[in-house]
Structure 1
Amino acid sequence: MAEQIIVAFEGEGSGVDDLSWGQLDLWMAMRRQNSWLPMGGATPLPAGTTLADVVENLRYLMSRYQTMRTRLRFDDDGRPSQVVSGSGEIALDVVDAGDDDPAETAEALSRRYQETDYDFVTQWPVRMGVVLRAGLPTHLVIILCHLVTDGSGAALMIAELDARVTAPIKGMQPLEQARWQRSPAGVRQNEAALRYWERLLRTIPVRRFAGSDDPRQPRHWRGEFRSLALHLATQAIADRAGMDASPVLMAVYGVALHRMTGINPVVFRPTVNNRFRAGLADVVCTVAESGLCALDVAGAPFPEVLTRTRRAAMTAYKHAYFHPVHLDDLIASVARDRGPDFDIACFYNDRRINTRAASSGPAATPEQIREALSGSQTTFRWTIRQDDPFERLFVHIDDVPDTMQITLFMDTHFVSPGDAEALLYGMEEVAVEAALDLVPHPS
């Protein structure tokens, strides 16, 4: 049985303006993928949580964060604007599990939330429900439209909710971001980014992939890879180099991509959170965009690849803040000049937050890395096959402790299932080779 509790909320900030660059980038991805890109899921609630606690949590989220109170408006040409409301009401679903398993009831509610179409104009961008057993809350289900926030913003939101932070919101909210992006400073940033992109777009190899010899129907596949050996190897290299594992893993990805495609330099689009920019460090919204990174890896030893990766990544990050429509226009213009095979739909997203820092313990020994490699601690499975499109190749590094989990989305008409799987095992191979070359045996 399900009931609803109507929760009233009121918060600071309201108005109408263009989408910010981060919002617009997500909106364009949603249109390409025919999805509102729901994020979230079901989680158990701490013992003693009351229904009143859940109501107040929802009220807190809606009142504190402008993006939770943001809907869209479309003009006659279909161009979206953000509409931030200062107050309103939202329904909290209350579901009694009865004699069913409350965890299964919560998962079913989560699936229903994610699979039900979302109306960007009339609905708030969050669906929230609580599951009861014998009248007591056991599980929370919360699904957000990705337009609310990116991963870094979501982590901040959760931390502030847990601590019940009441200090004033910091940083530029999307309405203010949109105004800045039209300012002379914003125009200069956009123009500098587009100049960088055009230089690369006109000189990189035309193709990202060698081509698929095994196109499938349904066409678009999702896979999940787990490897303890990759985790230990990248951490060992990072500890040896005195850095966190993020640039190491990006270098590993570049080498594995080159081995899989035979194309050099490898060119991919890393997701850049942009929170190193003034006013964006502590905002709950979408500010991430995909940069463009070109790596010359052919024949280079791994330490040199790592040096090149760090240098290329920093340049890519600097120029990953731009007007997405202007960039799309530039890419289309270059593609007309360079031919129909030109594309840059190869993405890489290290979305770890809690597990990307340097290890606090001793680095893995060569023996431990070899043991992880030879054991049964590397797995791969295909999880989704669908007709709705993914990008041609999108590799996500997941925030999972004590292992390396990678989620891969791909178009089998550009990357075959065999090549996609080989890419992930190839990352493990590259990292282990480099770790065993760089990490000395204990004396």
Structure 2
Amino acid sequence: MPDLRTPPPPLVPALRLPVRFTGSGAGVGELSWGQREIWLTMRRQRSWLPIGGWSRLAAGTTLAEVTDELRWMLRRYPTMRTRLRFAPDGRPLQSVADRGTVGLDVYDCPDGEDPEAFVIALDAGDRARPFDLVEAWPLRMAVVRHRGAPSHRSTVMPHLVTDGLGGRLFLAEVADRAGAPADTGTPPLEQARWQAGPAGQHQNASAVRHWRRTIARVPAPAVTGAGPYLRGEFRTTALPLAVHVLSERADADSSQVLMTLLAQALPGDGPAVLRPMVSNRFRRGFERVVAMVAQRGLCAADVAGRPFAEALRRVGAAAMGAYKYAYLDPDAVTAAFAEAGADPDAGLWCNDRRVASRQGFTGAAPAAAEVRAAPPGTFRWTVAQDDPFDPLSVDIDDDRDTDSGGRGLLLTVFTDAARLPAAGAEAFVRRAEELAVRQALQMLATAAETP
């Protein structure tokens, strides 16, 4: 396992280009529920939770074209010109500007170096550097030049700017600025105003009632987290093959199948407590907004010792409530856990971030021989740190780095070793894979025997 992480040395830009921008929707107000939830996560994890990435620029791209694109982004998306302010009582507020100047850093990659390796190091450095959420614009963009020509770009933002789906939306719109629709959804300032009004308070009250009913099934804190906090990667081709079979045979959404397998693999005999990340983009005005609207849901299901079909039904029913009531004031969630004396960190925090296979697998379901031939997944620990992650968390992504033609899954596992040690966390995801393969083979054998 690696040692605690140390940031790479910063690279020095050759120049910084000032990019002036203007935009609408300026004002100061409360954080929206989505912003407040990610702010609480940032404080808990002692991180500004950088998101973004790097990309190659098309041949012939000029610095003027990149600055025009950056100016367009800032004009279109209010969250990219939103900074924090703090009320006298310490409460965070959002401050949206209608104008300003942001710097575009330009770096020169030495002639003998690989520009891709250079931008990867640059991107890592920008993520590692502290971020001033009060004074700095929430966007770090840099261009790498190689032999005098722009070759790569890095864009890094705090998670306050947007969630994952909003990030994919803005990338698609930037790639086709001319075709981007006029509708940009409901910005966070307007969200916060609605949430403070009668309709928002009614929504919050309904959600809190659901959370209280579910929290009553959550155990009291048994262990105080103390770290170290570990991150690992589980790459598997057997799990997606089995999930494809189970999803098709049970006529169930693959996310529901994965949640059920993870729930049954959790250690312990009580109800399986799940904390899924919920998009909330099915709500009016949220489909096209580039903002943080995803929030954690909460559900509990009795699945220990149950047949898979029954466990699948129980998790599906519980998850529906989690999805419906994940739109609420995070401070009310904190208060509800405290009132009940329940563990606010209990359960599995899960985030299904797949793109390619989220809406369904391509092609026919694999045969039993293919499922049986898939090797067990590979696991490795990648990070140990003092700053906390979520207590036990699994992010699920499509894995494009496997030898299976892109049909693998990557499960990124986070654990507080004081709650669940490294060996237990690895055993947990391996158990989910084993359950999936065994159940898929049983379903295929039953289907073969049935006239």
TM-score (structure 1 length as normaliser): 0.92
The aligned counterpart of 2:378 is: 379
Pick the aligned partner of 1:304 from 285, 310, 318.
310
Matched, 1:294 2:297: no
How big is the shift at 1:183? Answer: 1.2
Matched, 1:232 2:241: yes
User: What is the correspondence of 1:393-432 to structure 2 with a 5 Å cutoff?
Assistant: 393-400=392-399, 401-432=406-437
The aligned counterpart of 1:348 is: 350
User: What is the correspondence of 1:30-429 to structure 2 with a 5 Å cutoff?
Assistant: 30-99=42-111, 100-164=113-177, 165-206=179-220, 219-257=228-266, 261-335=267-341, 343-344=345-346, 346-373=348-375, 378-400=377-399, 401-429=406-434
Conservation of the 8 A alpha-carbon contact between 2:246 and 2:440:
yes
Conservation of the 8 A alpha-carbon contact between 2:32 and 2:192:
yes
Deviations, residues 300-348 of structure 1 (Å, cap 9, x unaligned): 111111111111111111111111112111211211xx6xx67426311
| Separation in 2, partners of 1:62, 1:149 | 13
Give aligned pairs, total.
Answer: 428
Conservation of the 8 A alpha-carbon contact between 1:206 and 1:343:
no
How big is the shift at 1:81? Answer: 0.5
Deviations, residues 31-67 of structure 1 (Å, cap 9, x unaligned): 0000000012222223332222222221121111010
User: What is the correspondence of 1:11-26 to structure 2 with a 5 Å cutoff?
Assistant: 11-26=23-38
Letter in 2 for 1:137: P
Conservation of the 8 A alpha-carbon contact between 1:24 and 1:324:
yes
| Separation in 2, partners of 1:136, 1:244 | 47
Deviations, residues 398-443 of structure 1 (Å, cap 9, x unaligned): 2434211011111100011000000111111111111111125779
Cα distance, 1:354–1:60 mapped onto 2, change above 3 Å: farther
Cα distance, 1:345–1:240 mapped onto 2, change above 3 Å: closer
Letter in 1 for 2:392: L
* RMSD of equivalent CA atoms: 1.9
Q: Larger deviation: 267-276 or 29-38?
A: 267-276
SS across alignment from 2:374: helix
The aligned counterpart of 2:5 is: none
| Separation in 2, partners of 1:108, 1:204 | 43
Conservation of the 8 A alpha-carbon contact between 2:24 and 2:98:
yes
| Separation in 1, partners of 2:388, 2:218 | 25
SS across alignment from 1:421: helix
Deviations, residues 148-184 of structure 1 (Å, cap 9, x unaligned): 0001111111111111144323321101100110111
Matched, 1:435 2:444: no
| Separation in 2, partners of 1:275, 1:65 | 17
In the alignment, structure 1 segments of 5+ residues that lack a partner are none
Q: Larger deviation: 303-312 or 23-32?
A: 303-312
Deviations, residues 366-419 of structure 1 (Å, cap 9, x unaligned): 111111136xxx211111101111121111112434211011111100011000
How big is the shift at 1:115? Answer: 1.1
How big is the shift at 1:103? Answer: 1.2
Percent identity of equivalent pairs = 45
Letter in 2 for 1:297: V
| Separation in 1, partners of 2:189, 2:291 | 11
| Separation in 2, partners of 1:62, 1:328 | 34
Letter in 2 for 1:392: P
The aligned counterpart of 1:3 is: 15
Letter in 2 for 1:313: A
| Separation in 2, partners of 1:48, 1:433 | 53
| Separation in 2, partners of 1:193, 1:43 | 40
| Separation in 2, partners of 1:361, 1:124 | 45
SS across alignment from 1:233: helix
| Separation in 2, partners of 1:381, 1:354 | 24
SS across alignment from 2:410: strand
| Separation in 1, partners of 2:90, 2:363 | 53
Conservation of the 8 A alpha-carbon contact between 1:127 and 1:144:
yes
| Separation in 2, partners of 1:418, 1:236 | 29
| Separation in 1, partners of 2:339, 2:65 | 54
SS across alignment from 1:234: helix
Conservation of the 8 A alpha-carbon contact between 2:184 and 2:290:
no
Deviations, residues 194-227 of structure 1 (Å, cap 9, x unaligned): 11111121233436x8x79xx99x6111001110
Letter in 1 for 2:63: L
Conservation of the 8 A alpha-carbon contact between 1:205 and 1:265:
no
